[in-house]
Structure 1
């Protein structure tokens, strides 16, 4: 569970991992040298207790902004940044080992249109302006497979209501998962918050997007015989 230091901060249980095994020296250096510079602005409650919206124009120079929620090791996020230099991207990931992996990939790729929030996406949602996000990605989120844990999934009201506020009309929301029950819950819950599913036939959820790059989580799923699903929604 997350700890809140600011007295006005809402209590939000956080159940995922924030740190794994020890970081390599190079990964710690990435965190020490690069992370603060790549921040989208003051997000945490201690730094921004008034929850002043982030200045995305100052951050990205007026470019369209995309958001990846839980970027894992950062493969997809860096791929999108490299192939879309005219777009600004924000990646959010609470698992610090994944953040360190992303920072290494950013150095290697030399991309400059990325910002990184190493924490709970709900804190980021607090300070994103209304209708500021043109595309959002949720790729292989934690499946929380036990029934009693389904309320911890992203595709639940606490997250989806906030997502619907920050994405603009016509925005695309992409979800990739290899868990059939996560597909079911996604198709039940996401449309209830102002999104329409764009599939017209089976190929639309069986085949990845044209600009897709496989992530390490997808490669693991395929090795273990699980079938990926690619769901595309549009904000109404």
Structure 2
């Protein structure tokens, strides 16, 4: 996008807020969110959609990893603790999930996380090319009805800008408990921009060595749905 491009108007499907926040969660939002939120992402802050400077996020040239829809933040904090020299960007429009992450960040004491509490498409608008070294999409909304499958992340609306911001060789990890989501991912993701590193279905149920099982996965296991772990690489 250029400096003359107006902010796009998009439909948003999903929840922005759930039940009332607890007092501690409200305090975390009030005290921590402004400090950790990325600048220049929203249309209000950056109506011309000028690219932001990735190096300014953490003040150095470290690798940046992106988690799209971090839920309650368990995996994001886990990765931040495992890789303190990497900068983690978490994107999540659900305010309750943002509050949960802020509490986990306080308890963990990690300093290598930045947030965009909104639609990842807005972040894609302003990230420059090839600036992300790894991306995670973990238990995304499955949109189970066939007429809603176009809302899934594994569609060109999201995959094209994701490919643009990923550097060559970057990994894109996808975890889901929905077989039809796997079907669509294997149809839509591999191609000129991505190759699948574990195309054999026999390998889809083996988690990554540094995996942290989230509450969404634990719910899936309780309900006897089998997790799938797919790894793609940016060509």
Deviation sequence 1:191-233 (CA, Å, 0-9, x none): 1351000016445311100000000000000000000000000
Deviation sequence 1:123-164 (CA, Å, 0-9, x none): 000111100000000000000000000011001111111101
Q: Which residue of 2 aligns with 1:84?
A: 83
Once residues 193 and 9 of structure 1 are traced to their aligned partners in structure 2, the CA distance between those partners, rounded to angstroms, is: 28
How do 1:207-226 residues align onto structure 2 when only pairs under 5 Å count?
Answer: 207-226=206-225
Q: Which runs of 5+ in 2 are unaligned?
A: none
Once residues 233 and 120 of structure 1 are traced to their aligned partners in structure 2, the CA distance between those partners, rounded to angstroms, is: 22
Q: Which residue of 1 aligns with 2:122?
A: 123
Once residues 94 and 200 of structure 1 are traced to their aligned partners in structure 2, the CA distance between those partners, rounded to angstroms, is: 31
How do 1:169-208 residues align onto structure 2 when only pairs under 5 Å count?
Answer: 169-192=168-191, 194-199=193-198, 201-208=200-207
Do 1:175 and 1:231's aligned partners in 2 also have CA atoms closer than 8 Å? yes
Q: Which residue of 2 aligns with 1:40?
A: 38
Q: Which runs of 5+ in 1 are unaligned?
A: 1-6
Q: Which residue of 2 aligns with 1:31?
A: 29
Once residues 85 and 134 of structure 2 are traced to their aligned partners in structure 1, the CA distance between those partners, rounded to angstroms, is: 14
Task: List 4+ stretches of structure 1 deviating above 2 A.
Answer: 200-204
Do 2:39 and 2:45's aligned partners in 1 also have CA atoms closer than 8 Å? no
Tell which deviates more after alignment, 33-42 or 172-181.
33-42
- TM-score, normalised by the number of residues in structure 1: 0.95
* Helix, strand or coil at the partner of 1:124: helix
Deviation sequence 1:78-101 (CA, Å, 0-9, x none): 000011000001000000000000
How do 1:53-132 residues align onto structure 2 when only pairs under 5 Å count?
Answer: 53-60=51-58, 61-132=60-131
Once residues 73 and 57 of structure 1 are traced to their aligned partners in structure 2, the CA distance between those partners, rounded to angstroms, is: 26
Do 1:160 and 1:193's aligned partners in 2 also have CA atoms closer than 8 Å? no
Once residues 52 and 9 of structure 1 are traced to their aligned partners in structure 2, the CA distance between those partners, rounded to angstroms, is: 10
Once residues 10 and 117 of structure 1 are traced to their aligned partners in structure 2, the CA distance between those partners, rounded to angstroms, is: 17
Once residues 157 and 191 of structure 2 are traced to their aligned partners in structure 1, the CA distance between those partners, rounded to angstroms, is: 13
Deviation, 1:40, is 2.1
- TM-score, normalised by the number of residues in structure 2: 0.95
**Are residue 231 (structure 1) and residue 230 (structure 2) matched?**
yes
Q: Which residue of 2 aligns with 1:140?
A: 139
Once residues 23 and 108 of structure 1 are traced to their aligned partners in structure 2, the CA distance between those partners, rounded to angstroms, is: 18
Do 2:92 and 2:119's aligned partners in 1 also have CA atoms closer than 8 Å? yes
Please give the root-mean-square deviation of Cα atoms over the aligned residues, in Å: 1.2
Do 1:131 and 1:169's aligned partners in 2 also have CA atoms closer than 8 Å? yes
Deviation, 1:54, is 1.7
